[in-house]
Amino acid sequence: MAALSRLLAVTAICLSLIFTPTLAHPGEHYDEVEVLKVMRARGLEALEQRAQYDGCANSAESIAREERAILRRAATVQRLREERGLLEEPFIHRRNLAQFMSWEKNSHDKTSSGLKYNNATAHSTMFGTNVSCTLTPDNANGPYYVLGEQIRSDVREGQVGVPMHLELQFVDVTTCKSLQPLVVDIWSCNATGVYSGVSAAGEGGLKTTFLRGVQQTDEDGVVNFDTIFPGHYSGRATHEHVLTHTGATINENGTFSGGHISHLSQLFFDPTLINAVEATAPYNTNKIPHTLNDYDGYTGYAASAAYDPFPNYIQLGSSLSSGLFVWHTFGIKPSNNWATYGTNAAYRDTAGGHDNPTFNEFIVGTPPTDAG
């Protein structure tokens, strides 16, 4: 009955989106039923990945990697708090452990009051990862992916908003090993819902690059970015885009080339955190109604796949202006090839940004090919 209710709910959302005259950015066709059908098919493929990854939890390599992750995350928070002069302030830990299968029955916000911790709190309490909750299913990359962005960790470029330090870790579901080397793209809209890098009406334009960047994973499959908490726009819940390139080469000029798209997805955020951020400037100047997670076509799909694309996070001080430390682990199959769904609206080269004349935001097709 629960599965049927989820199916009916997602179908209702899809139909309502189809008949809504203005949604999201121009060209973002996530509201098409056929698109969601394909995303559902990808969810089934992702379930196979999860089954593989479940066997990793108790492996010696996974346990050792988890221990290193706890120490690394604790050190990162310590460094960020020290840089901001926050060592004497308590910090707030809000960790989401709910999985999507129970999402309808229980509020996804498990920490509406927030939990205050200090430097004496056990690191494992705050920075551990529940392996069963780390997988994030592949879905559409949306209409504003730009190929060839700069290899850099700080992507803020002066954008105003709640500071967010983002740590992403990638694990091979077929081997339980850390994925290194792996080239990782991230991008998001700014605090008022504007994307850089594209020429579509209302966006930042081809000359802009804010809140976009690329990093290569380290020996533990980790990348770090300094960005801001994303804003919102019509028809979409707040989200951060993530895309990976397996087999890519880092060039001497600070770019990358080659490889294939092995994962593309979006991270979403707890409603309590979103509401708190949206009440601050400049987020609160955006008068477009905010779309809740459960009314977003992508999270509706993800919910049916029993995955959790909600990262863990810590507020570094007593106020949001202190910034956030956000972390998530992705279990992916590096031989998957999602090129069909990872088309780019624009690209950058030594001459700057250019429109992609062959861009097709979403092509309905078959499950991923295996590039291996």
Give the domain extent around 291: 2-358
Question: Which residues sit opposite 273 in a β-bridge?
Answer: none
Task: Check if the beta carbon of residue 268 is closer than 8 Å to that of residue 239.
Answer: yes
pLDDT < 70: residue spans in the chain: 1-55, 57, 93-141, 295-308, 360-372
> Alpha-carbon distance 144 to 338, whole Å?
16
Phi-psi region of 205 (alpha: psi -120 to 50; beta: other; left: phi over 0): left
Q: How far lies 61's CA from each of 56, 67, 233, 362, in Å?
A: 8, 10, 41, 37
- What CATH number does the domain containing 111 carry? 2.60.130.10
pLDDT at 109: 30
Best CA proximity match to 143, nearest among 195, 105, 101, 182:
195
What total of structural domains would you count in the chain? 1
**For 109-139, what is each residue's pLDDT tens digit?**
323 334 444 444 455 555 665 443 445 656 6
In a domain, 306, yes or no: yes
In a domain, 371, yes or no: no
In a domain, 18, yes or no: yes
In a domain, 366, yes or no: no
In a domain, 72, yes or no: yes
In a domain, 276, yes or no: yes
pLDDT at 124: 53
pLDDT at 246: 97
In a domain, 311, yes or no: yes
151: DSSP letter: B
In a domain, 369, yes or no: no
| Secondary structure string (H, E, C) spanning the chain | CHHHHHHHHHHHHHHHHHCCCCCCCCCCCCCCHHHHHHHHHHHHHHHHHHHHHHCCCCCHHHHHHHHHHHHHHHHHHHHHHHHCCCCCCCEEEECCCCCHHHCCCCCCCCCCCCEEECCCCCHHHHHCCCHHHCCCCCCCCCCCCEECCCECCECCCCCCCCEEEEEEEEEECCCCCECCCCEEEEECCCCCCCCCCCCCCCCCCCCCCCCEEEEECCCCCEEEEEEECCCCECCECCEEEEEEEECCEECCCCCEECCEEEEEEEEECCHHHHHHHHCCCCHHHCCCCCCCHHHCHHHHHHHHCCCCCCCEEEECCCCHHHCEEEEEEEEECCCEECHHHCCCCEEEECCEEEECCCCCCCCCCCCCEECC
| 3-state class (DSSP) for residue 41 | helix
